[in-house]
A and B are shown apart, each in its own frame.
Chain A
């Protein structure tokens, strides 16, 4: 596993999370439940690909060995991916997809809000730009949690099952590493220490409004996204996403 300096690791975490979430959304192409939903899923994915590109462009500059955003996206192995565990989980049904989106949106929204205050100009600029888009994403995914949770008997049951399926991965949103704390102390990045509490408050509020029970906070287990120890499914996702550049390196069109 490749380890970079603290800032690069953090920038990769933001970029990789956006990229993998976008890739999962793409899987809905051609099979969303309604045309409007398909457009929405793809548009959110497109925003996230753009955000991933901004982060990975910056990561490539920080690494400074001639790599670029495409190489980082298409030629890194799963052990070198730093994305949060939630985004790599399979889409499941529409309830799982929207729940994953919502939990990630809440994290993004609060992270980016704070990252706007980073002393690092690039981090601040990317966060400011991304937050405008994420505000839209969060409004939409919150609405869906309410519609499904407080909807029909079936949609409610599916939300309950979705929470059961993915809740254990949420611990990743709640913890900061020593290295991230150092970045905060030196003000290179904004103070994201409150994000865990803000995440819990927002998720609780939406769950309660959706007649959904809030599980107790998830506990860490053996997976560790910062160390590249991901769920099995990330490897399969990357195999598909990276196929073309692996089979035909530097192919362009």
Chain B
């Protein structure tokens, strides 16, 4: 659950002065290296989990939102964010969970979508805000051969955020990041 790629930061920043409110852009860079523990290809920033990075009462405060209500990674993510910021020179870091507005896959960045695809997970298709109970099933592209000739195997996959699909052209099974 430890954030990756922080060795460089820790080494160079240990000697420097404690980070202040002027270092918030730097904090964003730090969080861009904190990976989601269940989908380690994408960072918490790519996924749109980080909603705000601010300064309050003399310390950095990060607002995050859970992807799914029962996502067991939420606490690990909180901890990873706090650890990463402290390792990067912020003396105290507060991480607060907010439910509102509710997380949507529309917040996954373009870069995040590309990383998901490269990792073998088909990114969410279309806009969550336009989907409803009676919507037609989405067109899901195979992350390996890009075919749109795919079929759903199960509404749910290895984690709450994914569904299981199969490509009818290259025959590979793959995870689809559900659009919510």
A residues adjacent to B (C-beta < 8 A): 36-37, 39-40, 43-51, 53-54, 109, 121, 124-126, 128-130, 132-133, 135-136, 138-140
CA separation between A125 and B102, bound complex, in Å?
Answer: 7
Specify which of B100, B133, B160 is in contact with A135 (CB 8 Å cutoff). B133
CA separation between A47 and B66, bound complex, in Å?
Answer: 12
CA separation between A47 and B72, bound complex, in Å?
Answer: 10
B residues adjacent to A (C-beta < 8 A): 66, 68-72, 99-104, 128, 132-133, 153-160, 164, 178, 180
**Chain A nearest Cβ from B177, distance in angstroms:** 13
Q: By the criterion CB–CB under 8 Å, are B180 and A46 in contact?
A: no
Specify which of A36, A40, A50, A140 is in contact with B69 (CB 8 Å cutoff). A50
Top 6 nearest A-B pairs (CB, nearest first) are A50-B70, A50-B69, A125-B100, A36-B154, A46-B70, A43-B156
**Chain A nearest Cβ from B71, distance in angstroms:** 7
12 A-B contact pairs sorted by A residue (CB < 8 Å): A39-B156, A39-B164, A43-B160, A45-B70, A46-B70, A46-B71, A49-B70, A50-B69, A54-B99, A128-B102, A132-B128, A132-B180
Tell me which residues across on chain A come within 8 A of B178, comparing CB atoms.
136
Question: Apart from A125-B99, A129-B102, A136-B155, what 9 extra A-B contacts exist at CB < 8 Å?
Answer: A36-B154, A36-B156, A40-B156, A45-B70, A50-B71, A129-B66, A133-B180, A136-B180, A139-B155
Interface of A is mostly: helix
**Chain A nearest Cβ from B65, distance in angstroms:** 9
CA separation between A152 and B49, bound complex, in Å?
Answer: 45
Tell me which residues across on chain B come within 8 A of A50, comparing CB atoms.
66, 68-71
Specify which of A48, A126, A140 is in contact with B99 (CB 8 Å cutoff). A126
Q: By the criterion CB–CB under 8 Å, are A133 and B156 in contact?
A: no
Known A43-B156, A132-B180, A133-B68; contact A138-B133, beta-carbon cutoff 8 A: yes
**Chain A nearest Cβ from B67, distance in angstroms:** 10
CA separation between A121 and B100, bound complex, in Å?
Answer: 9
CA separation between A125 and B69, bound complex, in Å?
Answer: 11
Specify which of B70, B132, B153 is in contact with A51 (CB 8 Å cutoff). B70
**Chain B nearest Cβ from A175, distance in angstroms:** 25
Specify which of B132, B153, B159 is in contact with A36 (CB 8 Å cutoff). B153
**Chain A nearest Cβ from B28, distance in angstroms:** 25
Q: By the criterion CB–CB under 8 Å, are B133 and A46 in contact?
A: no
Tell me which residues across on chain B come within 8 A of A40, comparing CB atoms.
154-156
Q: By the criterion CB–CB under 8 Å, are A47 and B70 in contact?
A: yes
CA separation between A151 and B72, bound complex, in Å?
Answer: 36
Tell me which residues across on chain A come within 8 A of B153, comparing CB atoms.
36
CA separation between A128 and B102, bound complex, in Å?
Answer: 7
Q: By the criterion CB–CB under 8 Å, are A53 and B156 in contact?
A: no
Q: By the criterion CB–CB under 8 Å, are B164 and A47 in contact?
A: no
